[in-house]
Amino acid sequence: MAEIVTPIITPFTKDNKVDKEILKSHAENLVRKGIDVLFVNGTTGLGPSLTPEEKLENLKVIYDVTDKVIFQVGSLNIDDAIKLATLSKDYDIVGIASYAPYYYPRLPEKHLIKYFKTLCEKSPHPVYLYNYPAATGKDIDGKIAKEIGCISGVKDTNDNLIHSLDYKRFNPNMIVYNGSDMLIATAISTGLNGSVTAASNYLPEVTLTIKKLASEKRIDEAIKIQFVLD
């Protein structure tokens, strides 16, 4: 069954602290509406801007609501990513995720592969690749993911569905989510495992309806509703 994954927002108080009360309330509402999985510390959740302590606090708050969580731990500092991954051992979650190390444009592919292999070795949970080339400058495609050899799933933030489907070509058992709000219906109808959609933060019912229709192969109806998001 396809899934709608919400990259949950990180609310802040006026004094620039994570607002744990609002975060928990929002998570409860999403789960109550029927959202399948919460993606914590993603781009929508300001993940790259959060401290390691804030990232872990977000996990603690949301885990009180649901264990259907993918915990994003990515960092330019592999030790920080490993530490967060290790600390997540106390939480029975779906998995951890990481984006590719960014900023250094000429970073050799072998170092990207080593980053994820190291994270896999240290993680107590399945590791998901968060592929967002427009933000990181690094495109870890299906071929590279296969070479890494330990990636359980991927969030592919990409408007090219062929790119997302390519992960399945190299590893048919890989869980693949497309990360574009504009492609929920088509992503599901083409056989991907679902969509990580920022719009599900504020229109969960709409995204879940699109999922239902697309899963039932009622594509014309799903696309009409998709236009609400587009």
Find the catalytic residue in 55, 138, 155, 211: 155
212 is catalytic: no
CA-CA distances (angstroms) from residue 10 to 16, 28, 50, 177?
11, 14, 9, 21
Task: Give the chain's largest Cα–Cα span.
Answer: 48
Residue with tokens 């590893």: 171
Amino acid at 107: L
Catalytic residues: 155
